[in-house]
Amino acid sequence: MRIGIFDSGLGGLTIYRTVRERLPAYDYLYLGDSARTPYGNRSFEAILKFTTEGVEYLFSRDCHLILIACNTASAKALRTIQQKLLPAKYPDKRVLGIIRPSAEALAQKSAGSNVALWATEGTVRSESYPLELAKLAPNLHLAQLACPMLVPLVESGELEGSGLDYFLNLYWRKTLALSSRVDALLLACTHYPLLYPAIRKIIPPETEILIQGDIVAPSLEDYLRRHPEIETRLSRNGKEDFLTTDQTEGFDRLASLFLGRTVTAMRAEISP
Ligand code: DGL
């Protein structure tokens, strides 16, 4: 039984990269729904449908535990999958998301801190992060901002330069309009870690920048330690496979940008 990693496309590779570095022994199957990416601006219904299809496809391909390595899909589909799909159809399988561990990382900041996050429109509108933080750390002030230009810029390979800096400065000014002080900024979208060097140059050094891979990988390790009934069912041959719902050439070409190494993906037909 493998660990499935699901994302709307390529971005989840930034999470998978850290997960595999930290937990190299397990077998992984990555599925990117590149034919329907981006999810960022889509409706709740569409994201739930696409994510459910992806999850069920990974279950049919020997995955016992699935990590939804996408903020938008975690925000809009995870709860329904956990509360309805799993009990009804897959009671012994598990699906995890990346919002809860990321919110826990923010919650560790001291009470009264001002934290902020940048994410897609869908993640921000879902209010998932404020809802989690209200439970975990009600004294933290959270400012959240949708940064819709950043995913297309990353996917066009614009990781530096004046065009990118224009939007980063714009988003930082908007963030400061919401919260005059920002102690920590969470990059709550899978694509944004690729912009870290450019973001770091624009945002003052006193603001800590949190990268989700660094949060999610130790959190998954901890989950596996606490759930031996799941962990013992996972195979450990150090293997990985990559699937995309779109043309494999495009996936392979951009995957190296996100993963830091080349991969050869296979095509998956997941829609009914
Ligand atoms: N993976 C998405 C996320 O983390 C970004 C790309 C998309 O909009 O599909 O929110």
What is the arithmetic mean of pLDDT over 245-266?
96
Neighbouring C-beta atoms of residue 255, cutoff 10 Å:
24
- Neighbour order of strands in the sheet with 2-7: 94-96, 63-68, 2-7, 28-32, 240-244, 266-267
- Cα of 114 vs centre of ligand 1, distance in Å, is 24
pTM for this entry? 0.96
H/E run at residue 262? none
Whether 18 is in the pocket of ligand 1, judged by its Cβ within 6 Å, is no
Share of the chain above pLDDT 70, in %: 99
Ligand 1, atom nearest to 151 Cα? 6
Ligand 1, atom nearest to 38 Cα? 9
- Cα of 251 vs centre of ligand 1, distance in Å, is 15
CA–CA separation, 215 vs 211, rounded Å?
A: 7
Whether 207 is in the pocket of ligand 1, judged by its Cβ within 6 Å, is no
Whether 32 is in the pocket of ligand 1, judged by its Cβ within 6 Å, is no
- What pLDDT does 110 receive? 85
> Do 196 and 178 form a contact (C-beta atoms < 8 A)?
no
The DSSP secondary-structure symbol of 70 reads -
CA–CA separation, 272 vs 270, rounded Å?
A: 6
CA–CA separation, 215 vs 26, rounded Å?
A: 19
- What pLDDT does 1 receive? 95
Residue nearest to atom 1 of ligand 1 (CA): 70
Task: Give one word for 238, left, alpha or beta, with left for phi > 0 and alpha for psi -120 to 50.
Answer: left
- Cα of 119 vs centre of ligand 1, distance in Å, is 8
- The predicted-structure confidence for 91-108, as pLDDT tens digits, reads as follows 999 999 999 999 999 999
Share of the chain above pLDDT 90, in %: 98
- The predicted-structure confidence for 35-77, as pLDDT tens digits, reads as follows 999 999 999 999 999 999 999 999 999 999 999 999 999 999 9
pLDDT of residue 240 exceeding 80, the answer is: yes
> Do 103 and 74 form a contact (C-beta atoms < 8 A)?
no
CA–CA separation, 230 vs 255, rounded Å?
A: 29
Ligand 1, atom nearest to 120 Cα? 10
- The predicted-structure confidence for 142-198, as pLDDT tens digits, reads as follows 999 999 999 999 999 999 999 999 999 999 999 999 999 999 999 999 999 999 999
> Do 4 and 249 form a contact (C-beta atoms < 8 A)?
no
Residue with tokens 């993640």: 123
CA–CA separation, 122 vs 42, rounded Å?
A: 7
CA–CA separation, 202 vs 31, rounded Å?
A: 33
What is the arithmetic mean of pLDDT over 135-142?
95
pLDDT of residue 270 exceeding 90, the answer is: no
Ligand 1, atom nearest to 12 Cα? 1
Residue nearest to atom 2 of ligand 1 (CA): 70
Whether 97 is in the pocket of ligand 1, judged by its Cβ within 6 Å, is no
- Cα of 95 vs centre of ligand 1, distance in Å, is 18
- Cα of 121 vs centre of ligand 1, distance in Å, is 10
Whether 54 is in the pocket of ligand 1, judged by its Cβ within 6 Å, is no
- What pLDDT does 272 receive? 63
